[in-house]
Amino acid sequence: MLTTQYPPVPESYCDYNGHLNEGYYLVMLSLATDTVLDAAGLNAEERDKYQFSAFTVQNNLRYFKEVRQGQKVVAHSHLLSSDKKRLRIWHELRNVEGTETLAAIECLLVGVDMKTRHSAAWPEEIRLAIQTLQTRHARYEWPKGAGNSIAMPEKGCSA
């Protein structure tokens, strides 16, 4: 798995409840997406070379445990699947020992030709890098919770 290290959680990331504000989970995990993109051949140099990038089109973020000011955390990332122009990524924000999952996010990204700013198939060199990464990550167990959606009654109030 790919890992992203973070400095201790700063006070400015915390809310009035004394824990990491919900939006900063997404900020931190978006940096983990950059770690995956770098490994998939979409680092800054390659983005400039091909005028190609990836845009996030959907996230499903789940919170499990509080993250407190000063706490050290790490992200573990897994490329779940890919096709000619999409990536499906799973990140887990864990305690620094890696033994407890604090939050998890599933992300869907689409390849974008930066000249037209429209979705497009991966350039061949990037496609091959994605394929290599996908092959490496295929050995990992499918994460519990991947593909889940919000579950509640469709309409009305049951309270």
pLDDT tens column, 21-60 = 999 999 999 999 999 999 999 999 999 999 999 999 999 9
Task: Reply yes or no on whether the pLDDT at 154 is more than 80.
Answer: no
* Domain CATH for 56: 3.10.129.10
Dump pLDDT digits (tens) for 102-146: 999 999 999 999 999 999 999 999 999 999 999 999 999 999 999
**Which residues are 119's β-sheet partners?**
112
The total of other beta-carbon atoms located within 10 Å of residue 34's CB is: 15
Residue 158 maps to a domain = no
Residue 155 has pLDDT above 90, yes or no: no
**Domain ranges, residue 22:** 2-137
Does residue 148 belong to any structural domain of this protein? no
6 is a domain residue? yes
Q: Residue 75: name the closest of 89, 90, 91 by CA.
A: 91
Does any domain span residue 114?
yes
Q: Is the pLDDT of residue 83 over 80?
A: yes
Instruction: Label residue 93 by pLDDT band (50, 70, 90).
Output: very high
Domains identified in the chain, total number: 1
In a domain, 20, yes or no: yes
CA 25/CA 127 separation, integer angstroms: 29
17 occurs within a structural domain: yes
Instruction: Point out which residues pair with 118 in neighbouring strands.
Output: 113
Q: Looking at the domain assignment, is residue 142 inside a domain?
A: no
